[in-house]
Amino acid sequence: MDCKIELIFVPVTDVDRAIDFYVEKVGFTLDMQARVDENTRFVQVTPPTSACSIAFGEGITEMTPGTQHSIQVVVPDAEAARRELLGRGVDAPEVQTLPWGSFTSFTDPDGNTWTLQQLPPRGSYDEVQTG
């Protein structure tokens, strides 16, 4: 099977606040927003350089806002990503370095959590597993 993940839903309570956070603070691109009907509003944003977008809105998911804690993205430099987030006014904890990568994270206004991972140098994780 040949497939690509292209859209992940993030449950939020306030769509406009989420747009402001993800676009203005985090720096994602606003791809589209549409009021489908009185009960449905769809918003799609994409992280820079990502092939996968996120969607949020009204009437598009039954997930409880603040329960999406499984989004993990790869960044070239975790320290630089953290500095950029902090510079944009987004809280991000100190980078934690483990054998399988360096990590930081951020949480949106509803409590949905993103993990940012810098991959270890090629081959170093294999050495940890077998060494």
Spatial separation of the C-alpha atoms in residues 30 and 44, rounded to whole Å: 6
Sign of CA dihedral 31, 18, 14, 95: positive
Spatial separation of the C-alpha atoms in residues 49 and 58, rounded to whole Å: 26
Query: What is the reported pTM?
Result: 0.90
DSSP 8-state code for residue 27:
-
Q: Each residue of 16-57: pLDDT tens digit?
A: 999 999 999 999 999 999 999 999 999 999 999 999 999 999
Average pLDDT of the chain, as a whole number: 94
Which CATH number is correct for 7-130, 3.10.450.50, 3.40.190.10, 3.10.180.10, 3.40.50.300? 3.10.180.10
Q: Each residue of 71-121: pLDDT tens digit?
A: 999 999 999 999 999 999 999 999 999 999 999 999 999 999 999 999 998
DSSP string, 67-126: ----EEEE-S-HHHHHHHHHHTT---PPPEEETTEEEEEEE-TT--EEEEEEPPPTTHHH
